[in-house]
Amino acid sequence: MLNQVVLVGRLTDDLEVITKENGKKVTTMNLAVQRSFKNSEGIYETDFIRCILWNAVAQSTSEYCKKGDIIGVKGRLQVTNYDDSEGKKKYITEVIAEKVTFLSSKSSVEEK
């Protein structure tokens, strides 16, 4: 079986790394990924995909990448669930990033 995701998109916010009690570092980010086709109104829609980064990947990405930067993410999908206040099961799909590639900085693009 294979569970692999590859995304290229823009960071929607600056990242903040949190150190857990066990010493592991983690950050959560949203990646804005534009679809490769136009909708019925002729507009490219954008998906906002939640990604979780751990340890060295989290640390280096937060140090070198800022809001608006284009990055590539290779990882796997993870689905978690919980019961809401009404007892209905809710599902959250997110990407657990295994590798992040820094593609371009928003500031370097603006300088050209």
pLDDT at 101: 96
* pLDDT surpasses 80 at 110: no
User: What's the pTM value of the predicted model, to 2 decimals?
Assistant: 0.84
pLDDT at 90: 96
Write the pLDDT tens digit of every residue in 42-60.
Answer: 999 999 999 999 999 999 9
Domain count within the chain: 1
Domain range for 47 is 5-111
* pLDDT surpasses 80 at 74: yes
Q: State both tokens at 50.
A: 């939640």
- Which domain CATH number covers 67? 2.40.50.140
Q: State both tokens at 31.
A: 């990646």
Write the pLDDT tens digit of every residue in 75-107.
Answer: 999 999 999 999 999 999 999 999 999 998 766
State whether the Cα torsion 9-12-14-15 is positive or negative. Answer: negative
